[in-house]
Amino acid sequence: MIQNENNEGEYLIRIENSLVRDEFIDINDQNFEKMMFLYNSALKEIKTKIEILQDELKIFSDYEPIEYITTRIKKPETILEKLKRKNLALTYGNMFQEVNDIAGIRLVCNFKKDVYKLVEIIEDFQDVRILNRKDYMKKPKKSGYMSYHLILEVPVNFSSGIMYVKVEMQLRTLAMDFWASLEHKLKYKNSNITKAESNNLIKYAKVINNIDESILTISNRLEKEKNENILIETAESRNENQTKKKIFFKL
Ligand code: GTP
Ligand code: MG
């Protein structure tokens, strides 16, 4: 049934023969519900993977890069709007193939370095595929928006096989999240904002980025000092052991 493992780019969108590629979307029918079931399942899978990673990093490395995780499923009306905006026919095929952000997960981190560390770890996940990435941290959007975006294909095991379902992952710092959440309410997809207000929001994004950088500098210094202390402690304990050995041999 739904396997695209050996067939990159081809999405089989039939579940029990009921989803047909060229069928028009009806957000009130059962096929739409079935599509949403796929996205909800993929979201559960990736959320669990990230939570396990979070636990592992905490238990084994005393490292807690993620402050919080949020997930969301795109509203049906917004899915249709997006297809219209892209000038695409409102079919299940296009929905599955062309809309990358129906399922979304956001990882909000403490520092910029945590975002890059997490991206590296996710790149090494054996089963999750990275379809696309946008580094709006290195190159912010014109609006001032900063984040790191990954479009993932997440494997979900169903009774009749594996299906890869797309999930948009956004990684950002607490500071970026603060700005993006407020800017989203005030401006993004809202054209009533004035040019001057819009310019101010861009300015605030830069101020927030400066704060992010300054806090990162403090964190880097503290981390360096901690590592140096560990080195000193290790050297001291080695010396101590050697002294103990000498005393032992004297006896
Ligand atoms: P959308 O059609 O909005 O999904 O954008 P896209 O498909 O061109 O992708 P892009 O990577 O630019 O943006 C994806 C998501 O990032 C959006 O749905 C928002 O959640 C977020 N985003 C992008 N640009 C901005 C912005 O200027 N401000 C805010 N607050 N969020 C943004
Ligand atoms: Mg989006």
Residues with CB under 5 Å of ion ligand 2 are: 101
How far is ligand 1, taken at its centre, from the CA of residue 98, in Å?
Answer: 15
In sequence order, the 6+-apart residues with CB closer than 8 A to the CB of 132 are 100, 149, 150, 151
Q: What is the pLDDT averaged over residues 100-127?
A: 97
Give ∠ CA 193-199-205 in degrees, rounded to 5: 110
| C-alpha count within 13 angstroms, C-beta hemisphere, residue 233 | 6
pLDDT confidence of 243, banded at 50, 70, 90? low
Q: How many CB atoms lie within 10 A of CB 144?
A: 24
Say whether pLDDT at 1 is over 50: no
pLDDT at 3: 46
Q: Are 107 and 169 in contact (CB under 8 A)?
A: yes
pTM: 0.87
Report whether pLDDT(120) > 70.
yes
Q: In this prediction, what percent of the chain has a pLDDT beyond 70?
A: 88
pLDDT in tens, 185-240: 998 767 788 999 999 999 999 999 999 999 999 999 998 888 888 777 777 777 77
Mean pLDDT for 60-87 is 97
Identify the residue whose C-alpha is closest to ligand 1 atom 17: 101
Domains of the chain with bracketed CATH: 2-174 (3.30.460.10)
Q: Could you tell which of 143, 191, 198 is best to mutate to test the pocket of ligand 1, judged by most ligand atoms within 8 Å of the CB?
A: 143
**31 vs 144, which has greater pLDDT?**
144
- The pocket around ligand 1, CB under 6 angstroms, is made up of 82, 101, 134, 141, 143, 145, 149, 180, 183-184, 188
pLDDT of residue 2: 44
CA of 78 to the centre of ligand 2 (A): 9
Give 57 Cα–ligand 1 centroid separation in angstroms: 29
Structure tokens given for 78: 């917004």
Q: Is the pLDDT of residue 173 over 60?
A: yes
